[in-house]
Amino acid sequence: MEVGSLKIAYAPGKVILFGEHAVVYSQPAIAVPVTQVKARAAVETGLEGQGITIVAEDLEQSYTLEQAPPDDALRAIVVSTLEHIGVGTRQDLTITVSSTIPIARGLGSGAAISTAVVRALGQHFDRAQYKHFEHLVHPLSPQTIADLVYETEKIHHGTPSGIDNTVIAFEKPVYFVRDRKIEIFSVKNPFLLAIADTGIASPTKIAVSHVHRAWEREREKYDEIFDEIGTIAEMGRQAIERGEIEAVGRLMNENHRLLQLMGVSSPELEGLVEAAREGGALGAKLSGAGRGGNIIALITQETRSRVELMLRLAGAKDIIVTEVS
């Protein structure tokens, strides 16, 4: 999208349907994009000599590339993208980011902002506009974007599996196994998910390291849990491909039980999961790192309003309904 010299790009949020945490230990997982929330990045040619200015609107922060601390994720994605495109960082640009994706709630806010930045920079330095760079500029495929964003995910997450950056860059339901080529699969019968927020921020890095320490203490128990979750993700994919929605719901419940055993649920998450089931959801589970963040509930048009009501009564701070298709 172009407004004068302004290039604007977006990226959606995401939820994990099956397989969070186990995916870090090389089990399969399934994630889907959530287009009701999005990150936005705008790239504009700046004044001559200004260098690169990053404006994080939501945080009311503005800083130059030089001022940014070395572990600043925005700085990292800007530098790696410009290097990838082949134009270097001696540019005069203003890059403005904002997002409607709640932070640290398992919706992939960090990966979405980085993806929007890569896309906007890719548009800014497209072949048509920068003919003299033509020999350098590579098209930014979804996989290239996912790879660039993965590097910044390490800043946010420590040891990310790569699922967030992948589902967000591809914007399709993905079946993901760490270090393997992703598989995009089809959804036979589209279905609805209610995503309900506990209102509690839960940094992924902390939940992942908590699980890692527990795994180190009790390897056998945790490896078994991860294996079972991997099987559920596999079965979940088949159920979605066959349009067996009730089976998807049952598998979500089963996955949630294993996440409880893993120690990543919380009283607030339990309250929302139970409320969704009482409201008639076909299944419900925490989604993402856990200990806070969101739950997801499988609903239908018929159960939608009752599930939403029950979730609100149980204290949900926000509810997004999205269609998986």
Site residues for ligand PMV per CB under 6 A: 16, 20-21, 23-24, 106, 108, 157, 160-161, 163-164, 204, 208, 288-289, 293
Q: How far is the CB of 161 from ligand PMV (least distance, A)?
A: 3
Q: How far is the CB of 107 from ligand PMV (least distance, A)?
A: 7
Residue number with the shortest CB distance to ligand PMV? 288
Nearest to ligand PMV of 203, 243 (CB atom):
203
Please report how close the Cβ of residue 218 comes to ligand PMV at its closest, in angstroms: 18
Q: Is 5 or 26 the residue whose CB approaches ligand PMV more closely?
A: 26
Residue 299 Cβ, how far from ligand PMV at the closest point, in Å?
20
Minimal distance, residue 14 CB to ligand PMV, in Å: 7
Residues 6+ apart with CB under 8 A from 107: 13, 14, 15, 34, 37, 101, 195, 288, 293, 294
Provide the minimum distance between the beta carbon of 215 and ligand PMV in the complex, in angstroms, as a whole number: 13
Closer to ligand PMV by Cβ: residue 13 or 279: 13
Q: Which is nearer to ligand PMV, 120 or 177 (CB)?
A: 177
Nearer to ligand PMV, 96 or 166 (CB): 166
Question: CB-wise, 123 or 165, nearer to ligand PMV?
Answer: 165
